[in-house]
Amino acid sequence: MTHAFVFGKFLPFHQGHAALIDFARRHCDYLTVLVCASNHETLPGALRAQWIQATYAHCPEVSVQVLNYREEELPNTSVSSEAVAHVWADYFRQVVPDVSLVVTSEPYGALVAARMGIRHLDFDRARAQVPVSATAIRQDVRARWSYLPAAVQPYYRRTVAILGTESTGKTTLTEQLATHFGADFVAEAGRDLISDSTSFSRTDLLRVADEHARRIVAARATAGPLLLLDTDIHITQSYAQLTEGAYLPVPAETYARNRADLYLYLLPDVPFVQDGTRLPAAERLHLDAVHRQTLADFGIEYKEISGDWPERFRQAVTLIEKMLRAAGTL
């Protein structure tokens, strides 16, 4: 039986790493993936291991192991050096003592194998099959989004919920932002399931909550680094509070599916437009107050958006860009 191993930082795990692992799988009976996590790195090794485990959950022959190390004790360099390779090889011999093969895409792989007295296989050292590196991804996650496996994308994706009382431009702003950022968005389920805001039941609201959560899950399966939500579960809860004085019995998973990284709340400082489906204009500010109280009850912090239509768009873009920049996806 051939027990092989591959090693790397997987910072982040990407399709090039997956190609390496797949190549290694074809040349062994059992494969150990070592996630080498330095004490100077902020992204936990356990999270990186989870990404690989999720990707290879269907492969019982693949085992993922975190190798936490201190840079003061083990050299942290990708430069091919016999001295460095020997230090790491001696350490690997202790961690995976029964391996007989190491597979790498680096020139120092042969040095490690020689020191351990095992075979070495080279894989696509020129990165011709999957032309990407973890460094390149970290420099511009948005441009290289397609190289991130499905298990990794949620870590980098950011979700923005657009909230507010009636006739504040939520849908229009959501669509404008989606066009501007090239982002996916989830349309408000209430518009499709409730034709008139003055006439609906508690059952109707529960249907809206379920459908909106379903749409979010479906969107996240294919969305890029930014996902926009036109309204969310808290606004649905607010309508329940407004009409019946009590919130809906919604399961925790519904809130989890609706979770956003940024909440933008549109102030009612633009003209009210009655399209025949909305509450009377006199109820608009009351509904605004109920929305705000609901958000407070659920501990939701939000940024206010005000002004005319162009100003609302400008403010929203600025806040989203700040969030994406902090996440490394802009």
Across the 330 residues of the chain, what is the mean pLDDT of every consecutive 10-residue run?
Answer: 97 98 98 97 96 98 97 79 92 96 95 97 92 93 95 97 93 97 94 78 94 97 96 96 94 97 96 67 85 98 97 98 88
Domain spans of the chain, in order of start: 3-147, 157-327
Q: Return the bridge partners of 32, or none.
A: 5, 63
Tell which CATH architecture fits domain 3-147.
Answer: 3-Layer(aba) Sandwich (3.40)
Q: Does residue 248 contact residue 206 with C-beta atoms inside 8 Å?
A: yes
- CA nearest to 264, candidates 213, 221, 297, 307: 307
| Homologous superfamily in CATH for domain 157-327 | P-loop containing nucleotide triphosphate hydrolases (3.40.50.300)
pTM greater than 0.85: yes
Q: Answer positive or negative: Cα dihedral of 90, 92, 97, 101.
A: negative
Give residue 73's pLDDT: 86
Gap between the Cα atoms of 279 and 268, Å rounded: 14
Helix, strand or coil for residue 266? strand
Within 10 A of 218 (CB to CB), how many other CB atoms are there?
Answer: 11
DSSP letter (8 states) at residue 273: -
The domains spanning 3-147 and 157-327 adopt the same CATH topology: yes
Q: Which amino acid is at 112?
A: V
Gap between the Cα atoms of 285 and 45, Å rounded: 49
Q: Return the bridge partners of 262, or none.
A: 160
